[in-house]
Structure 1
Amino acid sequence: MSRLWDLKRYFRRPSRREGILLGVLIVFISLAVPFEPYDWLQRSVTAQLNLKPYKGDAVIIAIDAKTERELPDRAWSKSDLADLLTRLSEHDPKQIVIAQQYFEAGADDDDQRLIDALKQLDFKPSWQVEIAPEEIRFSGKESRSSGRSDEPSFAQLLEPGIADLVQPNIAAFRRTNNYAPISAQYVVETSEGVVPSSASVLAQGASPPSQNLFTVDLSYNTRTIPEFSAIDVMRDDRIAAKLSDKSVIIAFTDQLGRDTVVTPFDPYTSRAALSVVAAQTLIDGPPVSLGWGAMFLLAIMVTILWIALVRPYGLYIAGTALVLIIVSPFFLERLLIFQETSQAIVLIALVGIVRVWQQGREAIHVYRSAAETKSQFLAQASHDLRQPIHAIGLLADRLSQSNLTIEQQEIVSKISWSVDNARRMFRALLDIAAIESGTLKKDLSAVSVNELLAEVDSQNALAAEQAGVDLRLIPSDLVVRTDRALLGTMLQNLVSNSIRYTSGGKIVVGCRRKENTLSFYVADNGRGIAPDELEKVQKEFYRSATGSSLGSDNKGLGLAIVNRLARLLDLRFRLRSELGKGTIASIEGLRIISSAEAPQTSENERKLPLSGLRVVVADDEEDTLHSTAALLEKWGCDVTPLSRPPEGIAPCDIVLSDFDFGEGVTLGEQPNIVSNIDKLGIDMIIISGHHPDQIRENLPDFSGLILTKPLRAAQLRSAMMSLRRVKKAN
């Protein structure tokens, strides 16, 4: 009893939320149907892994292209079928199934010859009748029919004269889509009654399946089914002798769609071969279909255990069950036990995703609690220590003003330096604590770039002069929307770090506009940062051993603050550096809100209607090339000059090209260049000294503009503006 009681330590009581969620998942998955493609794929893969040769007694007599080619009339007729049946009657096959026949119009005695041949047989062959697909009722019910002579008569489906000499059958298969597993009917329910299927006829004596609609075992390699051309059987008695005591199916095999069917790994499987495989499935079986309920019930039990057991035992059970469910078809389908596993797999997978998400939320909660505790501790500790440090600083100042010896003055100076260093460190710690705790909020407003740069200059001018640093600030009249104090802190940290480690060098502080955003840059020519330290120097308490130009004198907190403030303001902070050459720090993503922005843009569009247009200029004359490029740049275009034909160019809007590039090289000799430009949807203007008619003669497919040299600037501008208007209109 005590041992049973000890088992309780492995279990826990699931929460109400977990129970509700599991119930919702079970209901949702049991009602959902979009998981079938997984079962199709799994069954197809399993069939290929279990691939085996066919070893039954069925033989296909193929009315193939060879047969029709060697027949006297080059077409299959009732007379030919009569000859084939006569030859078969000489060798006593076990049974004959005649698949759907397609006869050419023959002589008047063809019908009688076929009737006579059927009468020579010792048994009634099975004749496949043609019936419209909509008249077939696919059914998976238990009701079946034996398909023997006591079945309803289908004389109306057969040609007069042979109805009493054959037994009807129907080949009926069901596919959800072209590459899904295939199901077959044991017997077929039609509007005329019940008809046996070709599979049930070929499998005479086999036990019937548990359900009328059964799954075909596609692990048989249909290429291993014995097959002979009908013409060979009729002409060669040795081949016909091989059919003694065999189940024979006579069928057309060559016409795609009519005579073949798509199976998961063979799109050209003949319908006759599929009937043989379906019959062999019945002989090996009967096949059993478990559906999706069995595996889904197992998955429910596994997920309940997963939730109820303490870690990691539930995970072990769920993982083991998932693997078993995935691999079980490989073993069960060898025994003709077919099932669907997709719902079970989806249930276990979804529960796993939910549990990972839940554990992630718990981890985030623990992390946030730890971060808040750390931030509160830092804030409290730094705040409590600032007062005594401040007092020490005052005492050191008073002590420095008293009568001290030179040695004592040096000691007091070192004390003051240490106090200042500690004060800066605690200020940085307070900033980090405020950011982490969320107490530091951004206050967005309009900020003038020039005013901000003036503050940076006033705060750092003296320090730069003392360090022998040439500090240059590039003014700008732009206005951005940001938090003035926080952005000022970021710039101050960057500039002070550069001053500290660029002794005797130069520092440039400026900004660059890109569309509607602004980026600040702080560039120095100091000693730089090693590539493997670029990421490390942006973290707390890291100091570069190489004395990089952006190291920190206050325990490595300066860049960490810049990094955190950038994230708070939704900006990007980037560092680029090279040892011995300097460092560039940038703050990117500031939104420009200049009041003159909107009217200025529209005015620019009026003055520079070609502004922003990407143009490729191709001309072999250097003077013409450079002057054209300079003119286009003056108009606001983005120009790419080429001294060769414009082949393999980058994406652009317009190509301005000469026709003759000297030394016998012309666009007329390389028409593929023009056609490729046209395929890319790029407008092209040819500017040449040749007559336009001569150019069009050499380029008959070119429909663009041709301008003649010498060309006035206004004419070129007008042509380019017209092309741009057409493109905008389209």
Structure 2
Amino acid sequence: MKFEELLKLVNEKTGDVLFVDGKGEIFGTEERLWDRFPFSEVVKGFEDAKSAGKGYFEVEEGGRIFEFKIERVLDGVFLVLRRDVTCARRIHKIKKDILSTVSHEIKTPLTVVKGNLDFLLAYRNLCAEDREIVEESLENVGKIENIVRSLRKLFLEESGGEVVDLKTVVEGVIRNYRKKFEEKGLKIKLFLESAYVRCERILFEQLVKNLIDNAVRFTDRGEINVTLKMGENGVVFSVRDTGRGIPEELQRMVFEKYVKSPDSEGQGIGLSVVKEIVKFHDWKISLSSEVNKGTEVKVIIPTSSTF
């Protein structure tokens, strides 16, 4: 079968996958891409693909939203993918509405609490111990506000970020877990290099907390190794423990919501949040584990994000 005949067959059998030539003509037909989809965005998207190799656009038709991706696969041959994203856009709007409501409901009482604490510091003659308590409460109010802002960015995919000293963040999380390490008699080994990355600080901190928390929870004896270093493909952050390990049949699903081992007392959402944070930043994550020997979770931050 000739190559052109194969492309014609694919075009005839599929509606959302098409192959077109350099003139925009759909293989096996006398139509051009913009004849079948008569939108100005189609012409521009195809021109982008011709000049840059890739084109992307969305169109609305009959109350539905379609996403188009055009990519050059060979000289004079372009692959066109069309996807109905109506449901995804509606879910996004629902998430946005819910988060807006929740963040507003949280922000209002936090503002009152913060105002009262500021008043106590400014207008009450507090003893040193009481002042320390109020200042600590104010600090935690600020942390809650940061968490709410970062959740909006995570689930609504809002762009942003700042250059963050990852080593400082990791060290801060470890300090807060020292007591838990001591209570379980676990050794903590740190191999931390300086690394500056543009990211959402509060989200990276949450990622570290979730991985450390999992390691502590499922390790009854031995040690936990936390590594932050520059690798060939960017910054590598990993947490390795000598704990119970994860059964092989669960490993491919462990980053999904509510997936957990039968003996786990958690809700099965810790690693799913880690995966969402990784996805938000366009990083990569991997997991290796062996029952009764331990688990290692590794996050790779590409060089393009480092400073």
Structure ranking higher on relative contact order (CA contacts 8 Å, 6+ apart): 2
Alignment match of 2:185 (pick from 468, 471, 475): 468
SS in 1 for 2:243: coil
CA contact (8 A) 2:286 2:297 kept: yes
State whether structure 2 residue 93 is matched by structure 1 residue 372.
Answer: yes
Alignment match of 2:252 (pick from 528, 535, 538): 535
1:569–1:469 Cα change, 3 Å = same
Cα distance, 1:518 vs structure 2: 1.9
Alignment match of 2:162 (pick from 425, 441, 444): 444
Which amino acid in structure 2 is aligned with residue 556 of structure 1? Answer: G
Which amino acid in structure 2 is aligned with residue 509 of structure 1? Answer: V
SS in 1 for 2:287: strand
- 2:211 matched residue in structure 1: 494
- 2:171 matched residue in structure 1: 454
1:587–1:381 Cα change, 3 Å = same
CA contact (8 A) 2:245 2:290 kept: yes
CA contact (8 A) 2:191 2:226 kept: yes
SS in 1 for 2:84: helix
- 1:663 matched residue in structure 2: none
CA distance in 1, matches of 2:286, 2:147: 20
State whether structure 2 residue 76 is matched by structure 1 residue 360.
Answer: no
- 1:435 matched residue in structure 2: 154
CA contact (8 A) 1:481 1:590 kept: no
For 1:587-666, list aligned pairs within 5 A. Answer: 587-591=299-303
Q: Give CA deviations for 1:620-672 in whole Å, capped at 9, x if unaligned.
A: xxxxxxxxxxxxxxxxxxxxxxxxxxxxxxxxxxxxxxxxxxxxxxxxxxxxx
Which amino acid in structure 2 is aligned with residue 560 of structure 1? Answer: S
CA contact (8 A) 1:467 1:504 kept: yes
Alignment match of 2:237 (pick from 502, 508, 520): 520
Q: Number of residue pairs matched? A: 214
1:471–1:455 Cα change, 3 Å = same
CA contact (8 A) 1:511 1:519 kept: yes
Cα distance, 1:585 vs structure 2: 0.5
TM-score normalized with structure 1 length: 0.26
CA distance in 1, matches of 2:250, 2:239: 19
- 1:140 matched residue in structure 2: none
- Where is the strand percentage greater, Structure 1 or Structure 2? 2
TM-score normalized with structure 2 length: 0.56
Sequence identity, in percent?
A: 20
SS in 1 for 2:66: helix
State whether structure 2 residue 199 is matched by structure 1 residue 479.
Answer: no
For 1:142-181, list aligned pairs within 5 A. Answer: none
Cα distance, 1:514 vs structure 2: 2.1
CA contact (8 A) 1:376 1:437 kept: no
State whether structure 2 residue 280 is matched by structure 1 residue 568.
Answer: yes
Alignment match of 1:346 (pick from 29, 40, 43): 29
Cα distance, 1:350 vs structure 2: 4.5
CA contact (8 A) 1:428 1:561 kept: no
State whether structure 2 residue 289 is matched by structure 1 residue 577.
Answer: yes
- 1:647 matched residue in structure 2: none
SS in 1 for 2:204: helix
Q: Give CA deviations for 1:452-494 in whole Å, capped at 9, x if unaligned.
A: 3321221211122223322221232x33223333322211110
Cα distance, 1:544 vs structure 2: 2.7
Gaps of at least 5 residues in structure 1 are 1-36, 43-317, 321-341, 389-426, 595-730
1:38–1:458 Cα change, 3 Å = closer
SS in 2 for 1:497: helix
1:581–1:383 Cα change, 3 Å = farther
CA distance in 2, matches of 1:573, 1:472: 21
Larger radius of gyration: 1
CA distance in 2, matches of 1:486, 1:343: 45
SS in 2 for 1:482: strand
Gaps of at least 5 residues in structure 2 are 14-24, 39-57, 60-64, 68-82, 110-145
CA distance in 2, matches of 1:540, 1:386: 27
Which amino acid in structure 2 is aligned with residue 374 of structure 1? Answer: K
1:570–1:343 Cα change, 3 Å = closer
CA distance in 2, matches of 1:344, 1:572: 37
Which runs of 4 or more aligned residues in structure 1 lie more than 6 Å from their structure 2 counterparts after TM superposition? 385-388, 427-430
Which amino acid in structure 1 is aligned with residue 183 of structure 2? Answer: Q
CA distance in 1, matches of 2:204, 2:302: 10
Alignment match of 2:227 (pick from 510, 518, 529): 510
Which amino acid in structure 2 is aligned with residue 464 of structure 1? Answer: F
Q: Give CA deviations for 1:378-413 in whole Å, capped at 9, x if unaligned.
A: 56358648999xxxxxxxxxxxxxxxxxxxxxxxxx
CA distance in 2, matches of 1:447, 1:432: 20
CA contact (8 A) 1:517 1:590 kept: yes
SS in 2 for 1:560: helix
Which amino acid in structure 2 is aligned with residue 563 of structure 1? Answer: K
Cα distance, 1:593 vs structure 2: 5.7
SS in 2 for 1:507: strand
CA contact (8 A) 1:376 1:433 kept: no
CA distance in 1, matches of 2:191, 2:232: 19
Cα distance, 1:438 vs structure 2: 3.0
1:576–1:372 Cα change, 3 Å = farther
